[in-house]
Amino acid sequence: MMPGKAFSSRIKNEDQYEALRDKGYSKEKAARIANTPDSGKKGGSSQKYEEWTKQQLYSKAKEVGIDGRSKMSKSELIHALRNN
């Protein structure tokens, strides 16, 4: 078995993984996204971040571990959440 083969065989959606890597995502983040159960499917009915309150955005940022969130504005929280 080739050294990189074991890793790539664990990727559920190879096309999405490669597209994310081409966009500059790290191997870990691209793999995490490509391995989600609904990988490659369009999102659902959740509200856009712009419709959330600052407190809701802060809570989500805390949940995902974004540093410096307490000093961020609403637009900065949205940017951080989208680029985490």
Q: Is residue 17 part of a domain?
A: yes
Q: Is residue 14 part of a domain?
A: yes
Q: Which two tokens stand for residue 41?
A: 């499917």
Q: Is residue 70 part of a domain?
A: yes
Q: Is residue 46 part of a domain?
A: no
Q: Is residue 45 part of a domain?
A: no
Q: pTM (2 decimals)?
A: 0.49
Q: Which residues span the domain enclosing 71?
A: 52-82
Contact by Cβ (8 Å): 61, 72: yes
**C-alpha–C-alpha distance, residues 59 and 78, integer Å:** 12
CB atoms within 10 A of CB 29: 13
What is the tens place of the pLDDT at every residue in 4-54?
A: 444 446 888 888 889 889 988 888 888 888 888 776 666 666 778 999 999
What is the tens place of the pLDDT at every residue in 63-76?
A: 989 999 999 999 99
Structural domains of the chain, count: 2
Q: Is residue 40 part of a domain?
A: no
